[in-house]
Chain A
């Protein structure tokens, strides 16, 4: 029984290490920003998740009672990872003009949500030089 639990912990550690390594290899090797964005998600969910479960089981065998507080990190990362990816993708689309112009039509008549701003607001900072609209639409927000 002890051997089985030890085998389970070791297997979870190796699985977690594999996915962390795969995520970082994806970050280093993939050719452009949007494709690089999805490499580290494997590290965030599967890699950290497997290592934290291994840590939980290990603490159980050491201390004698099972504590679930490692799951807090998992829950927090599961909540935070989509927000992080969304913010980076949005900043990339607005930062990189060729990507913004290469977006396909939405097919609904409405523009892309990422590129639309609330009434009287600008999605870009009006004070920055990188605003290259040229039609003065972003200068209304004084």
Chain B
């Protein structure tokens, strides 16, 4: 039963990443694209956690945590760049 639920979950995440790619390509503004990338990072974290559940291993937890931190920092840095024209003043 967990296998079936995991497959459904991975399929839903794949569709969600496809929708994010659509917004990334179509987004009329640069901030729509930033938001699409941020959501894509969230979905990537979910996908990495799903890989950890599927193979019943603990290794992917660190990867998910690192992706969460990198995604947050890159989103904030990109917003700062849009606001000010540079990241560190």
Contact = CB atoms under 8 A, between A and B. Distances in A.
Interface of A: 6-7, 9-11, 13-14, 16-18, 20-21, 23-25, 27-28, 33, 36-37, 39-40, 43-44, 47-48, 51-52, 54-55, 58-59, 62, 69-70, 72-73, 76-77, 80, 83-84, 87-88, 90-92, 94-96, 123-125, 127-128
A55 B82 CA distance: 37
B9 A25 contact: no
A99 B72 CA distance: 25
Interface of B: 1-2, 4-6, 8-9, 11-13, 15-17, 19-20, 22-23, 29-32, 34-36, 38-39, 42-43, 45-46, 49-50, 52-53, 56, 58, 61, 64-65, 68-69, 72, 75-76, 79-80, 82-86
A127 B50 CA distance: 46
User: Chain A: interface secondary structure?
Assistant: helix
B29 A33 contact: yes
A64 B5 CA distance: 22
A96 B29 contact: yes
B35 A36 contact: yes
A123 B84 CA distance: 8
Query: What are the 7 A-B residue pairs with the smallest beta carbon separation, nearest first?
Result: A125-B85, A24-B16, A10-B5, A17-B12, A87-B79, A17-B9, A40-B39
A63 to B, nearest CB: 8
A27 B35 contact: yes
Contacts of B17: 24
A51 B46 contact: yes
B46 A16 contact: yes
Nearest to A39: B39
A13 B9 contact: yes
From A10, A11, A25, A62, name the one whose CB has the most chain B CB atoms within 10 angstroms.
Answer: A10
